[in-house]
Amino acid sequence: DYKVFEELGKGGFATVYKATRKIDNLEVACKMIDRKKIQKTSLQHRMQTRGTMHERLKSEIEIHSRLKHPHIVD
């Protein structure tokens, strides 16, 4: 469980928040995918960019999975 504080930044489909892990008060950055941003686009636009958005998300997940640091939550 985490306690979320302030927004640190936004990207194309996610927002990063400053948070602390409740169990040990470790300060972390928590990235949350914003479903509303993804759903807001028109059906036609989604059909045209589905592959692009999927590839961007997949690439970002792969990059994040390789990051190893005490302050990065798995």
Select from 13, 32, 25, 4 the least CA-distant residue to 71. 25
Has residue 71 been placed in a domain?
Answer: no
Overall domain count for the chain: 1
Tell me the per-residue pLDDT of 10-65, one tens digit each, with 9 for 90 and over. Answer: 887 788 999 998 999 988 888 888 777 666 666 556 666 666 767 777 787 788 77
Has residue 38 been placed in a domain?
Answer: yes
Helix (H) or strand (E) holding 5: strand 2-10
Has residue 17 been placed in a domain?
Answer: yes
Is 40 flagged in the annotation as binding? no
What are 3's strand-pairing partners?
20
> Considering the entire predicted model, what is its pTM?
0.57
Domain of 50 in residue numbering reads as: 2-66
